[in-house]
Each structure stands twice: as structure tokens, then as C-alpha cells.
């Protein structure tokens, strides 16, 4: 990954312009517009003209800021990956399995509803063979899974949850939660709804948390602290 975008991702629209603020604002406008277009039309289906139109910026500026369409796409992916990366970082075998899994599922569901476009760009990238992020998957993502799987495995060994393959359990959680972002059109059409209202979002979170916990031989934890949906 190219990275280095994060340092430029702040300060937009705050008071009178300081040096770099226009740049920061346009940078973010382009990234957001690009994410929208890439999610909806894929990499090749998206023209830089469309991105420029959506961002309200002249097309030439996109090349001025990012040099190439390919580079812009990499920045978008980089943006998305940083969203994905702060899950369960601090989990340990001392924690309560039900609480951890409940929190994991609910945070994943929340992310699906708050950043569906990001999820879709990522999904299409992987479906098409992950040409740009294979290295990321092979290293960081794989390490993350291996670590969490270790904790889950130990919980199973100690009889604190069902004896269930931890890696495939993680796949199950990923797939079932992301489904509501990636397949939004299908889900909404079948539910005969126009969008995911707050009620439906809670229903999905409750359903997936309860179902997955039951599959792990656990029961839903009592909500000690009020939940941040």
C-alpha cells in the first residue's frame, strides 16, 4: 500500500483558510467522491470526469492531486483499510467470550451501516482477486486473524465456549455482517424497504449477535453499559 494519506485528512472547512487547508479540503472531497463512484461502478466503470463532477472540482485537478486514477484508487483503499483495522486490538483470554463476540459483531454491523460504500469498494477489490491489496491480506490481515483465532481456540479449550473452528467463525462473522452493506440492494428489495432505518439496523445487530452467540454455545451478555450504536 502507498499510505501517507492519514496525515492530510483533517482541518477541512474550519474558519479562514490557512496554508494547506484548500488542499486538505479538496483532497478529502475527491477521496469521498471517488469512493462513491468506485463502489457504484467499479474501477474501470468510473471515469475521472465523474469523480470530478461529484467532487465539484475540475477534472485536471484530480491529476494534479493524485497524478493518476490508479493512485487515487489506492488512496481510497488505504482509507478503507484504516477503518477496518482497529477491531479487537486489545482482546485477551481473560476477557469474557460472550462480551467480546457481541461487541465484535455489533461493531462490524454498525460499520456496514455507516460505511457501506467503503465495504463495497473493498468487496469488489477482493472479488476481483485483490490485485492491489494481496500483500495487506497476506501480512497484516492474516496476522490479525491468527491472533484472534488463538484467543478463541483457548476459550474453546477451557470450555468457555463451544468447540468451534475459530478461523471459519471469523469468516462467518465477516460475511454475515458485511452482507448488509455489500448486498444492500438485494436485502432492501427483498425486505421491501427503501433504506435501513434505525429500527432495522438494531434488529439486524440483535439478530446476528444472538444467532452467532448461540452458535458458539453462549448466551447474550447483559448490557452493562449503554450501547453505542
Partner DNA sequence: GTCTATAATCAGATAGAC
Partner DNA sequence: GTCTATCTGATTATAGAC
Contact flags string 75-114 toward DNA, x per CB under 7 A: ----------------------------------------
Site for its own copies (CB under 8 A): which residue of 78, 208, 209, 218? 208
CB-hemisphere CA count at 13 Å for 7? 4
Site for DNA (CB under 7 A): which residue of 57, 110, 162, 172? 57
CA distance 62 to 194: 33
Site for DNA (CB under 7 A): which residue of 31, 33, 35, 46? 46
CA–CA–CA angle 91, 93, 98 (5° rounding): 75
Residue 11 to residues 15, 22, 100, 227, Cα–Cα distance (Å): 9, 9, 34, 29
**Biggest CA-to-CA distance, the chain:** 61
In this structure, are residues 184 and 116 in contact, taking their beta carbons and an 8 Å threshold? yes
Interface residue list for its own copies (CB under 8 A): 39-45, 120, 123-124, 126-130, 134, 137-138, 141-142, 145, 162, 164-165, 167-169, 171-172, 174-176, 178-180, 182-183, 185-187, 189-192, 203-204, 207-208, 211-212, 214-215, 217
Interface residue list for DNA (CB under 7 A): 20, 22-23, 26, 46-49, 57-61, 63-65, 67-70
Amino acid at each position: 500500500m502507498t499510505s501517507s494519506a492519514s496525515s492530510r485528512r483533517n482541518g477541512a472547512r474550519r474558519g479562514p483558510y490557512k496554508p494547506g487547508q484548500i488542499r486538505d479540503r479538496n483532497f478529502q472531497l475527491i477521496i469521498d467522491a471517488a469512493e462513491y463512484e468506485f463502489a457504484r461502478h467499479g474501477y474501470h466503470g468510473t471515469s475521472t470526469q465523474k469523480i470530478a463532477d461529484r467532487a465539484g472540482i475540475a477534472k485536471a485537478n484530480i491529476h494534479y492531486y493524485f497524478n493518476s486514477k490508479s493512485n487515487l484508487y489506492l488512496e481510497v483503499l488505504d482509507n478503507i483499510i484504516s477503518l477496518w483495522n482497529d477491531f479487537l486490538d486489545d482482546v485477551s483470554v481473560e476477557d469474557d467470550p460472550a462480551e467480546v463476540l457481541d461487541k465484535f459483531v455489533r461493531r462490524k454491523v454498525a460499520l456496514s451501516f455507516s460505511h457501506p460504500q467503503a465495504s463495497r469498494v473493498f468487496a469488489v477489490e477482493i472479488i476481483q482477486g485483490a490485485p492491489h491489496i494481496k500483500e495487506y491480506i497476506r501480512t497484516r490481515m492474516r496476522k490479525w486473524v491468527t491472533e484472534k483465532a488463538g484467543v478463541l481456540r483457548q476459550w474453546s479449550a477451557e470450555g468457555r465456549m463451544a468447540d468451534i473452528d475459530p478461523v471459519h467463525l471469523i469468516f462467518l462473522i465477516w460475511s454475515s455482517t458485511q452482507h448488509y452493506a455489500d448486498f444492500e440492494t438485494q436485502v432492501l428489495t427483498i425486505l421491501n424497504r427503501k433504506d435501513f432505518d434505525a429500527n432495522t439496523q438494531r434488529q439486524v445487530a440483535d439478530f446476528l449477535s444472538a444467532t452467532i452467540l448461540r452458535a458458539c454455545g453462549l448466551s447474550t451478555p447483559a448490557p452493562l453499559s449503554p450501547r453505542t450504536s
